[in-house]
Amino acid sequence: MSRFLALIFGQTASQLGSGLTSFALGVWMFETSGSATRFALVAFFAMVPQLFVMPLAGHLADRWSRKGTMIVGDGIAGVLTLVLFLVFHFGLETYWIIYLVVGISAASTAVQQVGFQASVAMLVPRDQLGRANGLVQLGRSISMLFSPLAAGYLLGILGVDGILSIDLVTMVLAVGTVALVRFPAMGVRPEEAAAAGAAKDDAAAEPAETGPPARKPSAFAEGWAYLRQRRGLLGLLAAFSCVNFCLGSVEALLTPLVLSMADETVLGQVLFFAGAGMLTGGLLLSTWGGPRRRVRGIMILVALEGLVLVVCGSQPAVIFVTTAAFLFMVMTPMVAGTSQALWQSKVELELQGRVFAVRQTLAMASLPLAYLTAGPLADHVFEPAMAAGGRLAPILGPWVGTGPGRGMGLYFVLLGAMLIVMAAVSYSSRRIRHLETDLADSV
């Protein structure tokens, strides 16, 4: 567990730096363009490349070295951060340079993340997977909570290039910790390695895997074939694709929803409480370890997230949105961490890179769709329908209100209802409900 703690320290530092950069680039993009579309395109370009790179990342993680995969991913991201620093330092920044660098950086992040996720079960005993994934979510929560506050203060002092220099330092720290941590041999459980004194670096432990493998286009197909034979995991994956669509839509519309009722100061407070909620959820999961019956726990939490969205959307008051943001983000890392522990326990160590790459690709495929549709649906469908005199105002106005922001509120209600229905339908499926008993632990 000590090796995992060292690894998570470096990754959390890197996430903090990346959070600073993300905030700074977002502020620069919106202030220079005044365009919400250009702002949303940053999120789009940060997501789409990952979908194409993940199969290759899974192939590298399983066939080469998970440690090496993480170093490659973090290293490329560090080089790109240096490029951005030089671009801003010499005043060469343009929108398309930002989009290009963000896209390539997203691809390198996908490589790093697949290697990291496939490494957790190598470094952590089976009975500690829930807590370990709680720590992973905790690290993300710390970044979400403190990065916007720190970046908002530092941006005016250091500028964008100063923020990028901090990010570069955290990248070096992340690569350094990965390089120093010794990984067990591929396929060896941490408790087995400790008992046998076999805690060797996975890149050195298997001579046949000391360099990048020959290209194998079937890596994605191997992961997909594995899931097709395990319909319970495939059904759970489909459910999470729906969950991610709802999360992406909420992420895209939360800021406009708050600004329809309040100013930027209140928005900052709402986002702070959202980060505090995620931090709380990560702490709870890392302490508790998650529910013993993971599938049931996941579906209950998802249904509660849906209920929170329904309340958030139906009440045009900042206090309800703030409370909903906190509660929703408390549950989000608990859902993600519990699901991750379930997958890590059911998929063989030597296959986790390929399977997790397919899993992430399919689960995240709905996010770009959410980013591209949420804005137009809000602007051209729901907002006009819930404006004074709109088509739906006489019917739904008494429930969600009318006027600016109420169309987005109605969309939040529908997204919440979708989550509740999805959780109920998924749990009614025997293959998903009995996944933990029908499919034996593989690690």
Indicate whether 198 belongs to any domain.
Answer: no
Indicate whether 218 belongs to any domain.
Answer: no
Query: Could you give the number of structural domains in the chain?
Result: 2
Q: Which residue segment(s) compose the domain that 10 sits in?
A: 1-190
Q: 307 and 160 share a domain?
A: no
Would you state the pLDDT for residue 203?
43
Q: 177 and 299 share a domain?
A: no
Region 108-134: what's the mean pLDDT? 77
User: Contact at 8 Å (CB) between 110 and 48?
Assistant: no
Handedness of CA 204, 206, 210, 216 (dihedral sign): negative
Q: 434 and 342 share a domain?
A: yes
Would you state the pLDDT for residue 207?
39
Q: 37 and 96 share a domain?
A: yes
What are 380's two structure tokens? 């051209």
Q: 180 and 236 share a domain?
A: no
Residue with more model confidence, 220 or 322 = 322
CATH number at residue 78: 1.20.1250.20
Indicate whether 217 belongs to any domain.
Answer: no
Instruction: Quote the percentage of the chain above a pLDDT of 90.
Output: 15
Indicate whether 200 belongs to any domain.
Answer: no
Q: Sorting pLDDT into bands at 50, 70 and 90, what band is 9?
A: confident
Would you state the pLDDT for residue 426?
92
Q: 181 and 298 share a domain?
A: no
Indicate whether 30 belongs to any domain.
Answer: yes
Would you state the pLDDT for residue 209?
42
Residue with more model confidence, 339 or 375 = 339
Indicate whether 263 belongs to any domain.
Answer: yes
All residues at 6 or more sequence positions from 31 whose CB lies less than 8 Å from its CB, including other chains: none
Please say if the pLDDT value at position 26 is more than 80: no
* Domain end among 190, 213, 246: 190
Please list, residue by residue across 276-300, b when 16 or more beta carbons sit within 10 angstroms of its beta carbon and e when fewer do: bbbbbbbbbbbeebbbeebbebbbb
All residues at 6 or more sequence positions from 207 whose CB lies less than 8 Å from its CB, including other chains: none
What are 286's two structure tokens? 């890392």
Region 120-136: what's the mean pLDDT? 75
Indicate whether 197 belongs to any domain.
Answer: no
Question: With DSSP H G I counted as helix, E B as strand and the rest as coil, what are the percentages for the chain, rounded to 5?
Answer: 85, 0, 15
Q: 327 and 430 share a domain?
A: yes
Average pLDDT, the chain: 81
Region 123-150: what's the mean pLDDT? 75
Identity at 405, one-letter amino acid code: G
pLDDT tens digits along 47-84 = 778 777 776 777 666 777 778 888 888 888 889 889 99
* Domain end among 190, 206, 239: 190
Most confident of 184-193, 209-218, 313-322: 313-322
Would you state the pLDDT for residue 215?
53
Please say if the pLDDT value at position 383 is more than 70: yes
Q: Sorting pLDDT into bands at 50, 70 and 90, what band is 371?
A: confident
Query: Cα–Cα distance between 291 and 237 in angstroms, integer?
Result: 19
Identity at 418, one-letter amino acid code: M
Q: Sorting pLDDT into bands at 50, 70 and 90, what band is 196?
A: very low
Please say if the pLDDT value at position 159 is more than 50: yes
Residue with more model confidence, 155 or 395 = 395
Please say if the pLDDT value at position 24 is more than 60: yes
Handedness of CA 305, 311, 317, 319 (dihedral sign): negative
Q: 305 and 409 share a domain?
A: yes
Q: 179 and 256 share a domain?
A: no
Q: 254 and 396 share a domain?
A: yes
Q: 156 and 233 share a domain?
A: no
Pick the range with the lowest mean pLDDT from 100-114, 116-130, 245-259. 116-130
Indicate whether 216 belongs to any domain.
Answer: no
Would you state the pLDDT for residue 82?
92
- Find how far residue 416's CA is from the centre of its chain: 19
User: Contact at 8 Å (CB) between 167 and 21?
Assistant: yes
Would you state the pLDDT for residue 39?
65
| Residue 150 Cα distances to 19, 184, 433, angstroms | 10, 37, 43
